[in-house]
């Protein structure tokens, strides 16, 4: 009987890319918890819309709050699909709690999750430092702006769409890129991430 011994490379890849039960549980907790924050953030958008009525693209500066789940999920779980899973789950929870955006948040969550996920994929799920986190926030912000400009802002002039993209990108970097990274560092210092690579590596 022939047995095949997996190569060291294959053995190293398996734990990195395979989801454990604890990964699913923690990703789900992240998604649900941030989904409640999304719901509260959506409620605050009415006031922001009033403030930006004269120049609606400025509302993009508020957009980063809806992008945090994907970036934080990607930083903590460090497995393919984590950013998308957390962002979509958070969007679903906010929708169930009741938001003026209804079920459209599911599509938005998917688009934004993909924006962050592509950045983690670009680094092959091996780097999770501040720079990567900021880039993931940027990716999510750009994905949000492109999606909304195509789906909802169709009647805007091109310069408004460009301004909205710029504002959403800045918001993505500052709110969705920096804050989740700081949250990861804070959690790592408490020992809460001892079961995860995020709690054992130098980039936290």
pLDDT in tens, 36-74: 999 999 999 989 999 999 999 999 999 999 999 999 999
What integer pLDDT is reported at residue 12 of this predicted model? Answer: 47
Q: What is the pLDDT of residues 125-149, one digit of tens each?
A: 999 999 999 999 999 999 999 999 9
Can you give the pTM of this predicted structure? 0.90
Residue 198's pLDDT band (cuts 50, 70, 90): confident
Residue 140 lies in a domain: yes
Residue 202 lies in a domain: no
Residue 6 lies in a domain: no
Residue 51 lies in a domain: yes
Residue 157 lies in a domain: yes
Q: Domain of 70? A: 17-178
Q: Is the pLDDT of residue 14 over 80?
A: no
What integer pLDDT is reported at residue 47 of this predicted model? Answer: 93
Residue 59 lies in a domain: yes
Helices (H), the chain: 8-17, 21-51, 68-77, 82-97, 104-122, 130-151, 158-171, 179-190
Residue 76 lies in a domain: yes
Residue 106 lies in a domain: yes
Distance CA(86)–CA(83), nearest Å, equals 5
């Amino acid at each position: 009987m022939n047995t095949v011994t997996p190569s060291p490379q294959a053995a190293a890849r398996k734990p990195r890319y395979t989801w454990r039960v604890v990964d699913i549980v923690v990703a789900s907790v992240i998604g649900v918890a941030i989904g409640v924050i999304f719901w509260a953030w959506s409620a605050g958008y009415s006031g922001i819309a009033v403030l930006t009525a004269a120049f609606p693209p400025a509302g993009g500066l508020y957009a980063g709050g809806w992008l945090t789940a994907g970036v934080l999920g990607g930083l903590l779980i460090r497995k393919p699909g984590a950013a998308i899973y957390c962002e979509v789950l958070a969007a679903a929870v906010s929708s169930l709690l009741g938001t003026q955006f209804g079920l459209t948040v599911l599509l938005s969550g998917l688009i934004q999750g993909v924006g962050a996920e592509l950045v983690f994929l670009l680094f092959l799920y091996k780097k999770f430092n501040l720079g990567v986190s900021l880039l993931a926030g940027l990716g999510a912000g750009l994905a949000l702006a492109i999606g909304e400009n195509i789906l909802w802002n169709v009647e805007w002039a091109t310069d408004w769409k460009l301004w909205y993209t710029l504002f959403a990108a800045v918001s993505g970097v500052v709110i969705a890129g920096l804050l989740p990274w700081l949250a990861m560092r804070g959690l790592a210092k408490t020992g809460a991430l001892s079961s995860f690579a995020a709690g054992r590596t130098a980039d936290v």
